Amino acid sequence: MRMRTFSRAVLAGALGLSLAAAWLGAAATPEKPMVSEQGQACLGCHQEMNPGLVAQWWGSVHARAQVDCWSCHQANADDPAAFDHYGLRIAVIVTPTYCARCHEKEAKEFGASRHAEGARFIGSLDNVLGEIVEGGPAAINGCRQCHGSEVRYLGEGKFDSATWPNSGIGRINPDGSRGTCAACHGRHAFSSAQARQPENCGKCHMGPDHPQIEIYNESKHGIQFRANVDKMNLESKSWVVGKDYWAAPTCATCHMSAAANQPLTHDVGARIGYTLRPVITTHLENWKARQQAMKDVCAACHQSSWVDNFYLQYDATIALYNEKFAEPAKAIMDQLYAEKKLTATPFDEDIEWTYYELWHHEGRRARMGTAMMGPDYTQWHGFYEVAKHFYTKFLPEAEELQPGITAALLARDDHRWKKGLSPEDVKKVLEFYKKRYGQ
């Protein structure tokens, strides 16, 4: 790379007939903030090369606070992914380590969150599907763009294309930090208002296995947001529900933002009592305190009896899923593996696909639909699919591999219907529907 001296870069910036030069030539005001000498050098070139990037920054809170390019991209001495750029030592990736220079509390909370652990999916069944069954590029351009890659630096400002670009929420950075604040606060505007929009979360929280954005859009919360988006005061600095806005909640309202008795947090799991991700739903550590924190947020808009009864409904749905479907299915799979009826290779037998979708897709939808008040996802996208494939695919496939393995399960009261309803039950059902629908 042909290098220029730092002083020549500054001179080019000062002489350039560009928006940046015009701003920099004027006295600093709230609308025209002070820019460091190093920042002037950056703007002198990048205004011409990346005008959209620079325009985003000029309109940002960072610009108004005199936080310029050099403030964020000045490399730490121990950053292995830095390089000399026209006389300046530059960090290409602004990691949470750099954001913590000003946002220490937020970076610490994020570092303790499930988001920061996103790249741990590498080595899971999800990654086996992406890397091996589907093929590497599917994982690079799919899974890892949400979960995060392990970024490999090649030197001289260049990165391994299999790991970069990547804005996955749990990205493992060359400096050892995890995650990227830009996953939610998009470069280079770094807007809080953007991070508060449901679509911001929907970039990753969507689809057959974690359809939170679709569930939110179906729910009364999502409907109210769309009807009242102009009343949401999304640019507010404090953005406390019940104080700065009250028309509707977004994902951020419930999981991150401040309420009357809850401070702002960047630990998105701080108010979640269950984990709905695995085969069997379990409580998280300190789940009662977590649940109470969420109830405090609910109380901004709902009476205590409403909130308490919602959680009773939610708990009963989780118990139904665990006890009727998830625990028995897992026990059957464990027995099939233990008795060598299945190989150790994932996804080489039909029942492994059936079982995976049963909990990973359908079971999650049933549970998440209930948690976020999306009835169609609880029922038709959730429990209907769980029950259909549990009874018509999973159990028959298990029985084919090991005759008799389902007998004890089907003898239980909650599965006894499979042997046929009694004449009295059939008559009761038919009479109900005839009375209701007239046929």
Give pTM, 2 decimals.
0.90
* Three-point CA angle 335, 336, 338, nearest 5°: 60
Which residues, 6+ apart, have CB-to-CB distance to 355 below 8 Å?
329, 333, 394
CA–CA distance, 29 with 26 (Å, rounded to integer): 9
Percent of the chain with pLDDT over 90: 86
Mean pLDDT, rounded, of the chain? 92
| Tokens 């699919």 belong to residue | 385
Q: What pLDDT digit, counting tens, does each position of 373-415 carry?
A: 999 999 999 999 999 999 999 999 999 999 999 999 999 999 9
Taking each helix axis from N to C terminus, what angle separates 327-338 and 350-357, rounded to the nearest 10 degrees?
Answer: 160
What is the Cα 159 distance to its own chain's centre? 25
Mean pLDDT of 195-217: 97
Q: How far apart are CA 30 and CA 64, in angstroms?
A: 6
Which pair of structure tokens corresponds to residue 189?
């505007």
CA dist 199 and 97 (Å) reads 26
Q: What is the pLDDT of residues 214-234, one digit of tens each?
A: 999 999 999 999 999 999 999
Intra-chain end-to-end CA distance of the chain, in Å: 81
Rounded to 10°, the helix 37-49/6-15 angle is 60
Token couple for 175: 């400096």
Six token digits for residue 12: 């080019």
CA distance 317 to 315: 5
What are 95-109's pLDDT values in tens digits?
999 999 999 999 999
